[in-house]
Structure 1
């Protein structure tokens, strides 16, 4: 839909495909002109480098991007390039495990009384489920859920033992973050509310740990939330 509007107005489209990775979604096949990735995340997959990628199948656009890259000099060093290449070799198998666990985690969270809502496009209950099924393999491995208040979110963050508490995502380890004060800290209260980032919202990047262990960990943390 976005591509059709852009072509009508002779605009270049750019999609950030970081959350899905090229294994789960291929924006170039959907007509997007330029795809960007934070390769720090799923592509490398081990939370040990900072990297980015810009991809296009248009030779003219590729030449323009290369000119900027060459002029600015923003290129990876040898070690980071090697680590990224190593991560790419296991991308497919990692994403299969990440996403299967995320699907199970999201379904479990949806059944918990302390959770007000779960945001995950792999759930049939999601308003984005149908379009996600059309353009991607599944719902990905990142989800968010609302436990009702800042106080409850703090209890969960302080009581889970498996996830790392960090602003990042896409690593072999599960990563829990608090968007209102981390990834979206620059937004004021009105902007946060307008974007659906409520005081009780937590974001989870599901790692490669045993999903039953993750569920048990969050289950114990939830028991500390006062009824």
Structure 2
């Protein structure tokens, strides 16, 4: 998920010293103001076989926070975890998202794409927004038990979050009914009702013909 650039040993050593100093300086100012990492879930509605989109997102509010914790872009301040129910197939996922350990049934782990440029320290700043749209196919409505999106980071790293409650959000699914073509058409229902009515009428006529007349 992280991006690495091959550099000379001299450059790497210089970056380690200067970049480390910058990172420590930024880390020292992290507690100087309040900040908030907020995730947005989705309410998806569809029928079996439908293709739908879950528009998930991450937003950052408040004082700046260091986005990457080392000069090699290998330790992000936080990631986003996305769990989807068993009843859907993921047709496409965002560029910054991948399955944990590459396993098919594993949750997705998403990054926000802020990396070090030279000796600069990438920061999460007020108003930062990252969209995570997932394109899904509904396969089994009986398994649409819901999912979730949450901020993924060690608890000690999130202790200054001003509103931890919005660090997790649900991903809900509502079945819109039977898929088109899976049930009887209106014409078939009407024809079936007409057949039942005709059968009942014939049964009544036959019963009348078999009932003896009182005068016979």
TM-score, structure 1 normalization: 0.28
Could you say which structure has the higher helix fraction? 1
Higher relative contact order (CA 8 A, sep 6+): 2
Could you say which structure has the higher strand fraction? 2
